[in-house]
Amino acid sequence: MRYLKLGSGNIDRFLERISNYGELYAPQKISEKFYDYRKVDDIEKVEFNYNRTITPAKKYFIPPKQEMFEFDIEEGEYEETLGEVKPFVLFGLHACSIVALRILDGVYLNEYPDKYYAARREAGIIIGISCLPDEYCFCNLRRTDFVDVGFDLFLHELPDGYLIRVGSERGHRIVDENMDIFENVDNEDIENFKKFEKKRHEMFRYEGSFDNLRYMLELTENSPLWEEESEKCLGCGNCTMTCPTCRCYDVQDLPDIDGKHGKRIRFWDSCQFRSHGLVAGGHNFRETKKDRFINRYVCKNAYFYPLGTSYCVGCGNCTYFCPAGIDFLKNLMKIRDVIGAVHGE
Ligand code: SF4
Ligand code: SF4
């Protein structure tokens, strides 16, 4: 891998330069408490130190609401409206967010590639940034706290700038075309990089592995925990909307008022909504709130085999943004103990 240094004095210039490669989006403070990815109109507003955003980076690849095509009912024809997706630069993704995009790749770019997702993925330049965990993060238990594939550039904080890893051909081209703002990495930078990594590891609340959780969940379907916790759930769907790997969508045809033309759209859906499991004939294959609640836990802890990790990257968003105060991680911990008790451990 190629390593370079971006000194503190060149950070603004770096942001200006990368905005030459496409419209720039980055985390920005949007209120007293919250951050979100927004289009960058002023580089001073780009936030380098944040823990989570209210909407995950998936929104740039699977927009919350997306037009798929227009149709003519009388002619029985349809017309693509995808068009050209202009290049854009997504700055400031944490390692877990980049792994989340790779998980989405596995879903959307498999043997039947989704052209809407593929076009946006191709157009998006990904620039990652290191972070320090807060009390909600458990990416270390998911092995997603460090990423080595899936970005063009990745910035690691140093006391006087950033150590940059170059992760793609596109990343090489960006640094080659802007070598005047980069320096070579020296021994002090390497020592500082090691210190940051050590500090980061020491800040995680929990250690260990969640590799066996999927099976524990399947084995504890009758645990009273599900009744108690799902009782508190409001079914609002915040947990899935803010989850960087949740990907369920609904598709609807919207006819124009003339009844002759219309649009097909798709939009984010949530397995926590009662309507999610409702099918023709009025049957609902997840009728109760408890069914829907358990489903999310089992789904997120199932394995994404190509990466050898679960569908949950341990970002903590679902807990942080849950209005009912339901703690996803604590519930997983409890499930581990329940199964421990079952086996008399
Ligand atoms: S965010 Fe909390 S209350 Fe809302 S659906 Fe998810 S678990 Fe239920
Ligand atoms: S399930 Fe929760 S902790 Fe896991 S990736 Fe989704 S939002 Fe993050």
- CA-nearest residue, atom 7 of ligand 1: 233
Percent of the chain with pLDDT over 70: 98
* Span 180-187, average pLDDT: 98
| Residues 273 and 131 both lie in one domain | no
Tell whether ligand 1 has an atom less than 6 A from the beta carbon of residue 327.
no
- Nearest-atom number in ligand 2 for the CA of 319 is 2
Give the number of the ligand closest to the Cα of residue 330: 2
- CA-nearest residue, atom 2 of ligand 2: 318
| Residues 99 and 45 both lie in one domain | yes
- Please choose from 54, 232, 236 the residue to mutate so as to test ligand 1's pocket, defined by most ligand atoms within 8 A of CB: 236
pLDDT band at 342 (very low <50, low <70, confident <90, very high): very low
| Residues 230 and 169 both lie in one domain | no
Query: Does residue 225 lie in a domain region?
Result: yes
* Span 38-66, average pLDDT: 97
| Residues 47 and 136 both lie in one domain | yes
CA of 96 to the centre of ligand 1 (A): 21
Query: Does residue 23 lie in a domain region?
Result: yes
CA of 54 to the centre of ligand 2 (A): 13
Angle between helices 289-301 and 328-342 (to 10 degrees): 90
Query: Does residue 67 lie in a domain region?
Result: no
pLDDT band at 338 (very low <50, low <70, confident <90, very high): low
Note the pLDDT tens digit of each residue in 127-180.
999 999 999 999 999 999 999 999 999 999 999 999 999 999 999 999 999 999
Domain boundary among 140, 173, 203: 203
* Span 232-238, average pLDDT: 97
Tell whether ligand 1 has an atom less than 6 A from the beta carbon of residue 63.
no
- Nearest-atom number in ligand 2 for the CA of 329 is 3
- Please choose from 239, 243, 276, 321 the residue to mutate so as to test ligand 1's pocket, defined by most ligand atoms within 8 A of CB: 239
| Residues 169 and 249 both lie in one domain | no
* Span 34-48, average pLDDT: 97
Predicted local distance difference test score (pLDDT) of residue 218: 84
| Residues 169 and 51 both lie in one domain | yes
Task: Say if CB 141 and CB 206 are below 8 A apart.
Answer: yes
| Residues 139 and 229 both lie in one domain | no
Note the pLDDT tens digit of each residue in 271-282.
999 999 998 899
Query: Does residue 154 lie in a domain region?
Result: yes
Residues with CB under 6 A from ligand 2: 242-245, 300, 312-318, 328
Note the pLDDT tens digit of each residue in 281-322.
999 999 999 999 999 999 999 877 777 788 999 999 999 999
CA distances (Å), origin 54, targets 22, 201, 274, 323: 23, 25, 23, 13
Structure tokens at 327: 């703690």
Q: Which segments of 132-210 does DSSP mark as H helices, in order? A: 139-142, 169-176, 187-203
Predicted local distance difference test score (pLDDT) of residue 214: 82
| Residues 250 and 271 both lie in one domain | yes
Amino acid letter, residue 315: C
Tell whether ligand 1 has an atom less than 6 A from the beta carbon of residue 237.
yes
Determine the Cα angle at 92 with ends 89 and 96, to 5°.
115
Question: Mean pLDDT lowest for which of 9-13, 162-166, 334-338?
Answer: 334-338
Predicted local distance difference test score (pLDDT) of residue 305: 75
Q: How many domains does the chain have?
A: 2
Task: Say if CB 309 and CB 303 are below 8 A apart.
Answer: yes
| Residues 94 and 225 both lie in one domain | no
| Residues 217 and 319 both lie in one domain | yes
- CA-nearest residue, atom 6 of ligand 2: 243
Task: Say if CB 248 and CB 254 are below 8 A apart.
Answer: no
- CA-nearest residue, atom 5 of ligand 2: 312
- CA-nearest residue, atom 8 of ligand 1: 233
Domain boundary among 203, 224, 248: 203
Give the number of the ligand closest to the Cα of residue 293: 1
Query: Does residue 119 lie in a domain region?
Result: yes
Domain boundary among 203, 228, 247: 203
271: containing domain: 213-342
Q: Is the pLDDT of residue 343 over 60?
A: no
CA of 176 to the centre of ligand 2 (A): 36
Query: Does residue 72 lie in a domain region?
Result: no
Closest to 103 measured CA to CA, from 61, 136, 68, 165: 61
Tell whether ligand 1 has an atom less than 6 A from the beta carbon of residue 322.
yes
Note the pLDDT tens digit of each residue in 244-271.
999 999 999 999 998 899 999 999 999 9
- Nearest-atom number in ligand 2 for the CA of 96 is 5
CA of 129 to the centre of ligand 1 (A): 29
| Residues 252 and 315 both lie in one domain | yes
Q: Is the pLDDT of residue 345 over 90?
A: no
Tell whether ligand 1 has an atom less than 6 A from the beta carbon of residue 290.
no
| Residues 165 and 222 both lie in one domain | no
Residue-wise burial string across 286-296, b where 16 or more C-beta atoms lie within 10 A, e elsewhere: beebbebbbbb
Query: Does residue 73 lie in a domain region?
Result: no
* Span 223-238, average pLDDT: 95
Neighbours of 300 (CB within 10 A): 24
Strand partners, 37: 27
Query: Does residue 95 lie in a domain region?
Result: yes
